[in-house]
Amino acid sequence: MERMLVTVFDNEKKAYEGKKALGELQAEGNLTIYQAAVILKHADGTVSVKQIDDSAPVNTLTGTAVGALIGVLGGPAGIALGAVGGAGIGVFYDADTLQVGEDFIEDVSKSLAPNKVAVVAEVDEAWTTPVDTRMEALGGTVFRRALWAVQEQVRREEISAMKADLAELKSEASKANAERKAKLQKKIEQLAAKIDAQDKKLTDKLGAFEARQRAKKAILKQNAAAAGRALKNLANTRV
């Protein structure tokens, strides 16, 4: 199951150990990591991104579920420039890519107090015991939540409703007098521009989503191969 995984630690050293442990668990075939980052919560409420994966599917937080969650955790104070160049610039929040509920965000926010550090990761895991055991041994507090699917249908319905309004405006304009027709025409142009913008936004987001899904499939294949090799080695190991 695809999940958002957040583990909160008391310091950076433990957080880096936790991120390393996740990598080891992936090598052992216990989970697949799509993206992971280490973040630090400052006393002023800002969040710095201290480390981010440089592997597929993306090496930027913009437009990802991990980036969206980090943006929300930064709150009104936003994101501070951390040790990771451009990865720490700006706000990553995007409602379309924030795929967890408010209660999850609230629980993580309460635990991620000032000066604490967290590993935020989008993963695919079949069971929770391997991660929980390793993270708890390092003193980490684990939070996880299944990710929602992309809301493509909702966006399409919004565009359809706007197009219905546009059709009515055009029909009304065809029967109106010159003065009224000019006013309606202005509304028609504004609404048509909004529809075009929404169409482009939907196309861009679906394109990015599909690209991430293809990259995820590639990672799953790599992870399956690694797990297969590990099982083969285990079978050949003398007891």
Q: What is the DSSP string of 93-117?
A: --TTT--S-HHHHHHHHHHS-TT-E
Instruction: Tell me if 117 sits within 8 A of 14, measured CB to CB.
Output: yes
- Shared domain for 7 and 106, answered yes or no, is yes
Instruction: Tell me if 68 sits within 8 A of 98, measured CB to CB.
Output: yes
Average pLDDT over residues 120-131: 90
Give me the residues paired with residue 144 across strands: 5
Give the tens place of pLDDT for each residue, 96-117: 567 777 888 899 999 999 999 9
* Three-state secondary-structure class, residue 147: coil
Domain boundary among 146, 175, 191: 146
- Shared domain for 121 and 16, answered yes or no, is yes
Instruction: Indicate the pLDDT class of residue 137, thresholds 50, 70 and 90.
Output: very high
- Shared domain for 42 and 85, answered yes or no, is yes
Supply 17's token pair: 């150990």
User: HSE (CB half, 13 Å, CA atoms) of 195?
Assistant: 16
- Shared domain for 92 and 160, answered yes or no, is no
The domain of 207 spans 152-233
Would 238 be classed as within a structural domain?
no
Supply 156's token pair: 């399409």
- Shared domain for 19 and 35, answered yes or no, is yes
- Shared domain for 30 and 123, answered yes or no, is yes
Instruction: Tell me if 81 sits within 8 A of 89, measured CB to CB.
Output: yes
Average pLDDT over residues 6-35: 94
Average pLDDT over residues 68-85: 67
- Shared domain for 135 and 169, answered yes or no, is no
Q: Which of the two residues, 159 and 89, has the higher pLDDT score?
A: 159
Give the tens place of pLDDT for each residue, 26-59: 988 899 898 899 999 999 888 888 888 755 444 5
- Shared domain for 76 and 114, answered yes or no, is yes
For the question of whether the overall pTM of this predicted structure is more than 0.75, the answer is: no
